[in-house]
Chains A and B, each alone.
Chain A
Amino acid sequence: MRPFDYIRADSAEAATRQVADGGIFIAGGTNLLDLMKLEVMAPEALIDINRLELNQIEETEDGGLRIGALVTNSDLANDTRVRRDWPVLSRALLAGASAQLRNKATTGGNLLQRTRCLYFYDRAMACNKREPGSGCAAREGFNRILAVLGTSEHCIATHPSDMAVAMRALGAKVETLKEDGETRQLTLDELYLLPGDRPDRETVLEVGELITGVVLPARVDGRQTYRKVRDRASYAFALVSVAGIVAMEDGRIARADLAFGGLAPKPWRDAQVEALLVGETPSEALFNKAADQLLAQARGFGDNDFKLLLARRTLVSVLTELTETRT
């Protein structure tokens, strides 16, 4: 870990200025310090934002929730409103990491966690994300946990968050504050960049731009689930995950909001998959057609080829669960 200046921010505005020159915000720190110990990340300053008043969950006028960026994963998962009306989010959070990590990790930090690609983590290996232009050792290395969608020849990393997958299915928006005082809202689709030829750039956030919160839209009718498939029963990253919100009307699918983890450099959502489902009567054939659509552009890199089959099976299973008539 390189030496750094430690600065405790006492206002969001100050923090955005303090971070501008080679600094980085630290909240929970559970991923940042992990990477700093390995010098995969080596900021010159840490701007500690933990004292900012961004740890509230408030109801919005239109029936949604505004989640402060510093709300911990535990507090968000355990919020009674979230458990009742946005259960897919609680489920995703509870499926992630461990209780200890959830107690420290924050909403903003979770959105910005870095990939778990083992080549990104190893400074002896080529990685375009860590060191632009050095190459990608993962493509022809051991790539079992890596992406099959949204990759580029420069990077096949996945985004590891469970929470963000649920938020993407829920249509959440990220609120930010820029150094010049301007605020903006971004969908998760807008927030994240695909690797392309600049895998080191993971989001559209500008230097000094601080995530201040996430807004969930009002609850919608339907069933919600988060299915996480992983190597261990607990405390493991997703190989594939599906966040699903499905509503039925008269035996037909009226809503199918679906997001996927473990497959891509960002929480994945495919409007065409959902369009294909809505208005239709549930059937295994239909679900497989949805999977065909989801995976139309997917490609594996050897060790991770199984993710195509796993994603298909998991999607079909989740859709079956969410559309079946309960007795």
Chain B
Amino acid sequence: MTEQFKMDAPATERRLDDMAQGLVGAPLDRPEGALKVTGTATYANEWQIEGMVHGVMVRAPGNSGRVVLSNREAVAKMPGVLSVIQDDRLLRNPAQGTANKAPVQGAQHATYLGQLIAIVVAESFEQARHAAQALKVTLENGEMVPVDPATAAVEPQEDQTLDQGNLDGAMSEAKHSVDVVYTTPSHSSSPMEPHASIASWEGEDLTLRASYQMLKYNRNELADSLRIHPDRVRIISPYVGGGFGSKLGLAPEAVAAAIAAKELGRPVSVALHRQQVYEATMRRSETRQRLRLAADSDGRLSGFGHDARVSNLPGETFAEPVLQASHFLYAGANRKMSLELARLHRLCAGSVRAPGEAVGVTVVENAMDELAHEVGIDPVELRLRNIPEKDPESVKDYSSRRFREALQSGAEIFGWAKRPGVKERRDGEWLIGYGMASAARINALMESQARVTLLPDGTARVETDMTDIGTGTYAILGQIAGDMLGLPRDKVDVILGDTNLPPAAGSGGSWGASSSGTSVYIACEAIRRQLADRLDVNEHDLMLKDARATYANQTKALTDVLQGDEIAKLGHVLPGETSDAVRQATFGAYFAEVAVHAASGETRVRRMHGSFAAGRILNAKTARSQCLGGMTFGIGMALTEELTFDPRDGHVVNHNLAEYHIPVNADVPQLTVELLEERDDWASPLQAKGIGELGICGAAAAITNAIYNATGVRVRNYPATLDKVIVGL
């Protein structure tokens, strides 16, 4: 019944190219679209459960010290209040993605300002909110703790250190070189749906209706946090209102809801306030990055150095993997890299869309732009000249890599040839500039399972605890199953987001589609084999289309083949030797035109294009939307997004959507996206790679490079807000 497949060799057969139904790759609408546009898709905090009460969490007002709730009894007696809970199992901060166990717990001590240290539960949301605000929290015996990454103690990340050849020598001998320091600020994922959980117990069994990206891990994290067996925990998360990393790991509201529901014997809903999302979920670490590039007179790299400092809370091992793509993106025989982690008391740092590359590639691409100007060649040409033949460190081959084509095709589509010189073009009070940057993101396949059932009526059901966080999972899993089983899209029902279903890879790291898609593919292949057995043909000679089987010059309805039976198969994919045999990554290029106001320094993106290669595209519509989203994150990162921290206590000052400036509609022009045709046999039997994050991995640099082109101003401290541009105008 279980079909297990390990990715040990390239999948050169490319079976999806041969399927007759023609669904995979097509720009089909999302099947859940009608529910989403009518408000009838049910998100976490929207389940109406009999007897449900409301919990509101309470924050620590400082970053150190023992938590004292001085008026706890009085608050407990306020109207409607059912309980004031301070429990050692409350999470200090969310679990990291794929942690699979509880993060640091404890509500007795504050470690950062904004930490959620108690929960107040009341009959109504209004009562709970007021009571939570009335709770007086003081901190005793607090100490001065570091909050500034520039001065905090640092820990070198030895496993991230690289010293190959002699970079210092290469730098001193280089005809052209760049040695620059850039900084990027902390970012917030800021999904539109705040974290929310509804916990309800039946005896010792817990059901959590929540908003998470990786349910199989989240279930174990929740069980471990509560010190119960994972079999006792079910998480339901069919619709997730955006994640972008912030819902990878279990967050404080889930554990609080579970504890409160157990204590009260009633379902408890806990939705984080937007301020709490900013203060107590995850941030992307700020980075300080030094880039050293050494090149010959033609711009060919002889040296590549990248040193970065990031930060996190004491006890957290996650260090923003800034160098991830620096290892393989460009040539350069002499290479030096290092990463260090500063320990400080700001909210937890973790994954925000494309951890590593989002900020790492961006700064590499700024440095490359600086080098192009040093050398005096076209920035596109500089990239083309430095595409390495093999991985410059491991000397492995790349799997598929249409990097060169992306650069060239993107330049053509955008009209890069018509780019102005620095400070050359003006439109009234607006200075016009063009900029470009490369895109790169590692690719991974992860263990994933799905059950596919071909039903007697000739329809199919796909079931997995995989999530759809806007990524298009409902669409693509149905397309894969439909193609493999020869069923129109509307004959495949895709059921997601429930830990009672087979455990999937989850939505993160751009691996969701290829991993969960492969599990569906594997299950379908097994079903095909069984159908072929019934028809006594070789499975490869069986053509399935529109619920009919064609074989050996015959055709037969699937219902007739099934004869009242159903065929259910569990597909189970495991990563294998192809993960390490080659360098797998996705690539692309961005091109942007900006206008910078000559008086105010305000920047508007007028046009932006991205050309991307990410293996087989499973749905051209949803894949394009993922790229639009990534590029827009890039616009935010380039121009407006910055979590600001108070220099004295490290709290997030701009903890709301009015002052943490994610782009609004008017900030985003009609972006264009090209998806290059590609098959990556090393990645998965689908020949697909991840595309959910590629759109942000360098995007911001295209914009800041364009600002330089427009104004001659290099902003090396992101974001390029007008105050940093205006000083150079």
Q: Which residues of A contact B (CB under 8 A)?
A: 1-3, 37-39, 116, 118-119, 121-124, 137, 140-142, 144-145, 229-237, 239-240, 306, 309-310, 313-314, 316-317
Residues of chain A with a CB closer than 8 A to B653's CB: 118-119, 141-142
Shortest Cβ distance from residue A220 to the other chain B in the assembled complex, whole angstroms: 26
Interface contacts beyond A119-B653, A234-B665, A313-B600: sample of 7 additional A-B pairs, CB < 8 Å, sorted by A: A1-B130, A124-B61, A124-B62, A141-B647, A232-B661, A235-B664, A316-B599
User: Per-residue CB proximity of B415-440 to A under 8 Å, as 1/0?
Assistant: 00000000000000100000000000
Residues of chain B with a CB closer than 8 A to A237's CB: 658
Whether the pair B666, A233 counts as a contact (CB closer than 8 A) is yes
Which of A124, A140, A235, A239 is in CB contact (< 8 Å) with B722? A239
13 A-B contact pairs sorted by A residue (CB < 8 Å) = A2-B130, A116-B659, A124-B61, A141-B653, A142-B644, A142-B654, A232-B663, A233-B604, A236-B661, A306-B726, A309-B726, A313-B726, A316-B599
Whether the pair B599, A142 counts as a contact (CB closer than 8 A) is no
Whether the pair A37, B129 counts as a contact (CB closer than 8 A) is yes
Whether the pair B599, A233 counts as a contact (CB closer than 8 A) is no
User: Per-residue CB proximity of B450-493 to A under 8 Å, as 1/0?
Assistant: 00000000000000000000000000000000000000000000
Residues of chain B with a CB closer than 8 A to A240's CB: 600
Whether the pair B726, A116 counts as a contact (CB closer than 8 A) is no
Residues of chain A with a CB closer than 8 A to B655's CB: 118, 122
Residues of chain A with a CB closer than 8 A to B722's CB: 229, 231, 239, 306, 310
User: Per-residue CB proximity of B120-144 to A under 8 Å, as 1/0?
Assistant: 0000001001100100000000000
Chain B interfacial residues counted at CB < 8 A: 41
Q: Which residues of B contact A (CB under 8 A)?
A: 59, 61-62, 79, 113, 126, 129-130, 133, 429, 599-602, 604, 639-640, 644-648, 651, 653-656, 658-659, 661, 663-667, 721-723, 726-727, 729
Whether the pair B61, A39 counts as a contact (CB closer than 8 A) is no
Shortest Cβ distance from residue A74 to the other chain B in the assembled complex, whole angstroms: 18
Measured in the bound complex, the distance between the Cα atoms of B659 and A175 in whole Å is 33
Residue of chain A at shortest CB distance from B653 = A142
Residue of chain B at shortest CB distance from A239 = B722
Which of A1, A118, A230, A317 is in CB contact (< 8 Å) with B599? A317
Shortest Cβ distance from residue B322 to the other chain A in the assembled complex, whole angstroms: 25
Residue of chain A at shortest CB distance from B636 = A232
Whether the pair B648, A140 counts as a contact (CB closer than 8 A) is yes
Whether the pair A142, B646 counts as a contact (CB closer than 8 A) is yes
Measured in the bound complex, the distance between the Cα atoms of B126 and A114 in whole Å is 23
Measured in the bound complex, the distance between the Cα atoms of B275 and A37 in whole Å is 12
Residues of chain B with a CB closer than 8 A to A142's CB: 644-647, 653-654
Measured in the bound complex, the distance between the Cα atoms of B126 and A39 in whole Å is 12
Residue of chain B at shortest CB distance from A317 = B599
Whether the pair A231, B727 counts as a contact (CB closer than 8 A) is no
Residue of chain B at shortest CB distance from A140 = B648
Given A232-B667, A306-B727, check contact A141 B661 (CB 8 Å): no
Measured in the bound complex, the distance between the Cα atoms of B644 and A131 in whole Å is 24
Residue of chain A at shortest CB distance from B646 = A141
Shortest Cβ distance from residue B534 to the other chain A in the assembled complex, whole angstroms: 59
Shortest Cβ distance from residue A316 to the other chain B in the assembled complex, whole angstroms: 7
Residues of chain A with a CB closer than 8 A to B599's CB: 313-314, 316-317
Report, nearest first, the 9 A-B pairs whose CB atoms are least far apart.
A306-B723, A317-B599, A233-B666, A234-B666, A124-B61, A142-B653, A313-B599, A229-B600, A39-B133
Measured in the bound complex, the distance between the Cα atoms of B114 and A123 in whole Å is 12
Shortest Cβ distance from residue A61 to the other chain B in the assembled complex, whole angstroms: 41
Residues of chain B with a CB closer than 8 A to A239's CB: 722
Residue of chain B at shortest CB distance from A118 = B653
Residues of chain B with a CB closer than 8 A to A229's CB: 600, 602, 722
Residues of chain B with a CB closer than 8 A to A145's CB: 659
Measured in the bound complex, the distance between the Cα atoms of B649 and A137 in whole Å is 11
Residue of chain A at shortest CB distance from B60 = A124
Given A231-B640, A232-B664, check contact A118 B723 (CB 8 Å): no
| Max count, chain A CB within 10 A of own CB: residue among B601, B640, B646, B664 | B646
Measured in the bound complex, the distance between the Cα atoms of B507 and A66 in whole Å is 57
Residues of chain B with a CB closer than 8 A to A310's CB: 600-601, 722-723, 726
Residues of chain A with a CB closer than 8 A to B640's CB: 231-232
Whether the pair B648, A1 counts as a contact (CB closer than 8 A) is no
Residues of chain A with a CB closer than 8 A to B600's CB: 229, 240, 310, 313-314, 317
Residues of chain A with a CB closer than 8 A to B654's CB: 118, 142
Which of B59, B644, B665 is in CB contact (< 8 Å) with A124? B59
Residues of chain A with a CB closer than 8 A to B664's CB: 232-236
Shortest Cβ distance from residue B590 to the other chain A in the assembled complex, whole angstroms: 20
Measured in the bound complex, the distance between the Cα atoms of B659 and A122 in whole Å is 13
Measured in the bound complex, the distance between the Cα atoms of B653 and A122 in whole Å is 9
Measured in the bound complex, the distance between the Cα atoms of B227 and A79 in whole Å is 64
Measured in the bound complex, the distance between the Cα atoms of B601 and A235 in whole Å is 18
Residues of chain A with a CB closer than 8 A to B133's CB: 38-39, 123
Shortest Cβ distance from residue A160 to the other chain B in the assembled complex, whole angstroms: 10
Residues of chain A with a CB closer than 8 A to B726's CB: 306, 309-310, 313
Shortest Cβ distance from residue B190 to the other chain A in the assembled complex, whole angstroms: 14
Shortest Cβ distance from residue B655 to the other chain A in the assembled complex, whole angstroms: 8
| Max count, chain B CB within 10 A of own CB: residue among A137, A230, A233, A310 | A233
Measured in the bound complex, the distance between the Cα atoms of B79 and A118 in whole Å is 30
Whether the pair A231, B661 counts as a contact (CB closer than 8 A) is yes
Residues of chain A with a CB closer than 8 A to B59's CB: 124
Residues of chain B with a CB closer than 8 A to A39's CB: 130, 133
Shortest Cβ distance from residue A139 to the other chain B in the assembled complex, whole angstroms: 11
Which of A38, A116, A123, A233 is in CB contact (< 8 Å) with B667? A233
Residue of chain B at shortest CB distance from A306 = B723
Measured in the bound complex, the distance between the Cα atoms of B651 and A141 in whole Å is 10
Whether the pair B113, A124 counts as a contact (CB closer than 8 A) is yes
Shortest Cβ distance from residue A158 to the other chain B in the assembled complex, whole angstroms: 13
Measured in the bound complex, the distance between the Cα atoms of B61 and A234 in whole Å is 33
Measured in the bound complex, the distance between the Cα atoms of B668 and A235 in whole Å is 13
Residues of chain B with a CB closer than 8 A to A3's CB: 79, 130
Shortest Cβ distance from residue A325 to the other chain B in the assembled complex, whole angstroms: 16
Residues of chain B with a CB closer than 8 A to A314's CB: 599-600
Residues of chain B with a CB closer than 8 A to A38's CB: 133
Whether the pair B429, A317 counts as a contact (CB closer than 8 A) is yes
Measured in the bound complex, the distance between the Cα atoms of B267 and A136 in whole Å is 42
Residues of chain B with a CB closer than 8 A to A123's CB: 133
Measured in the bound complex, the distance between the Cα atoms of B657 and A236 in whole Å is 10
Shortest Cβ distance from residue B602 to the other chain A in the assembled complex, whole angstroms: 6
Residues of chain B with a CB closer than 8 A to A306's CB: 722-723, 726-727
Measured in the bound complex, the distance between the Cα atoms of B602 and A233 in whole Å is 9
Measured in the bound complex, the distance between the Cα atoms of B600 and A142 in whole Å is 21
Residues of chain A with a CB closer than 8 A to B645's CB: 142
Residue of chain B at shortest CB distance from A160 = B658
Residues of chain B with a CB closer than 8 A to A235's CB: 664, 666
Shortest Cβ distance from residue A142 to the other chain B in the assembled complex, whole angstroms: 4
Residue of chain B at shortest CB distance from A240 = B600
Whether the pair A1, B126 counts as a contact (CB closer than 8 A) is yes
Shortest Cβ distance from residue B122 to the other chain A in the assembled complex, whole angstroms: 12
Shortest Cβ distance from residue A80 to the other chain B in the assembled complex, whole angstroms: 25
Residue of chain A at shortest CB distance from B62 = A124
Shortest Cβ distance from residue B618 to the other chain A in the assembled complex, whole angstroms: 34
Whether the pair A118, B648 counts as a contact (CB closer than 8 A) is no
Residues of chain A with a CB closer than 8 A to B602's CB: 229-230
